[in-house]
Structure 1
Amino acid sequence: MGVPAESVDEEGGEETSAARSMRVAAALARKGGDQFAKPGRLVEVRFVKGQSLSLTASRLLALMILTAGGDAWQDTTHRMRKSDIRRGHKGNERIVDMLEELHRTLFAEDDKSWRGKRATKRFNLIQASWEEVEDNDKETGWIEWQFTPDARRLIQESETYAVMNRQAVLGFRSAYALKLYEEGALRLHRRQPVWKVDMVGLRAALGIDPDKYADFAQLRRKVLTVAKAEIDQLAHFTVEWQEIRRGRAVIEIEFRFVSKDAPAQIATVDELERHSKGRKARRDDTVEKVVASDSPLPHSPTVDGVDVANVLKKVTAALVSSDAASSGGVELWARFPRGRLHFGATEEAAREIGVRYGGGWDVDMIAEAYRDHMGARLNTLSGTKLEKSWKGWCEAFFNRRGRP
């Protein structure tokens, strides 16, 4: 989820000419996992009027930044397997369309002309790309690409960054939701969780065509409401907005991004690990719920006279007891420690997470705040969910308070 990337900023010895965002990107790449850093200047660059990226092209650009990691600012080529892009699609034809879309999409930033006058600079992000042409229509191969000098300059100048989750990026079904997610991740890292923007700026940032959704009620329903629903479900934060009006017309929007508490972060992690099919139904709470029962099923399936459900139950119990035995007879993360995080397997594991993700705060102080916040709910958590809840709390604690 939301990693306190400042804690990885000082790891390793990246070249001094690399901006802070690139040092963080390199550190996150070394750690592995789904988190990656997108430079703030790339998040804030706006689309040229009338242009935007489709959802698939936006995802590809995110994967390119993730793959390039701490070397994204350098004048070099980067490469990625086609299979990492397709995500289950059998053909490579969509990759061609996404690459060509990235090549032709223009971005803009404020600049000055040769006379020192205010000017708008327009540029691309991808300079060149290579796609391997496979014989016999094989579903393998690689793509290579180079970022343009303008893109590398923006990356190198970025001292701020958005820490994003790869699974969340690939999980969005709305390009507007993905862009708003990037804006929120960037501002939460800056500890400036409010984004106030006029309607022209909002359209430029999210890539909304000037002639599309001219009625704000449509924009609210088709863009903002959809984006909020997806972000609240998949991101490590939630988003709200306030409409600022002049008369009856909406002239500005004030977005507020709020880090999720520990239980909500657990639900988000669980959702990201589930298949995307049925995600909208789960979000709308229209999924039929199965009520567990200890009583045997009326028609439990059998194979050669063997009760399959009973066998599965025994195997599960054996695995649980095996886990407990491997931790010295005490199940790791059976409950959250009640005292100081010093002695014992769970205590040591909890302390390690607190040191790693707590941003330098006293781990016992973070633990005490966690116990107070969770209250009786803490007794209902164990195992992986408890571990992820504690990690999410440490991250949120640091995000709210900054360094001690």
Structure 2
Amino acid sequence: MSELNANAVVSTVHRPMGFAEFVMIIAAIMALNPLAMDMMLPALPNIGATLRITDGNRLQAVLAVFLAGFGAGQLIMGPVSDRFGRRPVLIGGMVVYCVASLLAIAAPSFETLLLARALQGLSTSATRVIATSMVRDCYAGRRMAGVMSLTMMIFIAVPVLAPSLGQLVMLWAQWRGIFIVLMLYGVGVLTWSALRVPETLPVTARKSLAIPQVLDAFRQTVTNRQTLGYALAAGGVQGSLFAFVFCSQQVLTGIYKLGHYFPLAFAAAAIGVAIAGFVNARLVGRLGMRVMSHSALIGFVVVAGTMLGAEHLGMLNFPLFLALSTLMMFAFGLSFANFTALAMEPQGHIAGTASSLYGSITTLLGISLGAIIGQSYDGTLVPFTTGFFLCTLSALAVVTVVEKGRLFVPHHKAG
């Protein structure tokens, strides 16, 4: 029996669900976030026209406030789930998601829409933390990395297809119809979770919400070299990804003049993450998380340097940009899932709190870097390619320090 097949019988914590349903529902829960994020991309010009926003860089706030709510919310979701269990926090988060979608549907102003987006981001911080914590509750080491990779293979279709889905919805309902779809999806996942998801955190393993205990759990997280280091590295690579997402509509429709074909180009680039999920699920059990992620990170830096050089030489035409963007997504997919597993590996005893703090660090760092790069957009690719290269190079430097210069070396006990 292979290692991943063995996962089906390793954990009994998620019964009555079998292994396949567990992976599928974790993917569906995690997909709430990228679906709400990426469906909006083709709608930004329409939102601007409806709500009288003419500055393309200001429209990036529709994406930025969502991610800010997502990042900040994670700080509290983990400790709360460590105290009261995974299930109530998960259900509550999805209820808020549906309510926020209703608010966005009725939003009369740009400011109200931003409030709804912040609430959506806050609610998906609960779903993301709980999904990650449930995987950690049930699995460890390379098995955990394998489950995360299988989950990513399923839910990664969302960012690939979401812009096209958003474009399709706008044919009959414009941008408000996107939030109707988000609400209906949220109701569906909420119902599935309420009926099938068990509590994966035993009462005996729950932590106190007392301030000293929470602060001590935070201290254990940020003082662990492996956890903090890989959180910072993940934030660096995520910064380049967020910059791509923030700028993609402006770049692909403004510089490369793709018009309504923008979602297809975005999907072509995002397919790299799906391929990475498949490759990682197949190989991580054999090669280990460090070999996979360190190789991907070095490839990331090479792609970034190539894109930067091509832009300065005036050679970054659309086919080359698309090819390099797809490679960027592939490297991101290989590195980020394994960075998450590596960061969480030492934190099994405080998985919820550690997942919260890890998620906040990576998201807030990523959104800060991505927003800086996105707001620097000036009609050229110079700010993006420069920021992309600096983000990935910094991530490689952090990982090198964390591993004390010993890249690619598998740690058999920890993955």
Tell me whether the two structures share a fold, i.e. TM-score over 0.5.
no
Structure with the greater relative contact order (CA < 8 A, sep ≥ 6): 1 or 2?
2
Whichever of the two has the greater Rg, that structure is 1
TM-score (norm. length: structure 1)? 0.26
TM-score (norm. length: structure 2)? 0.26
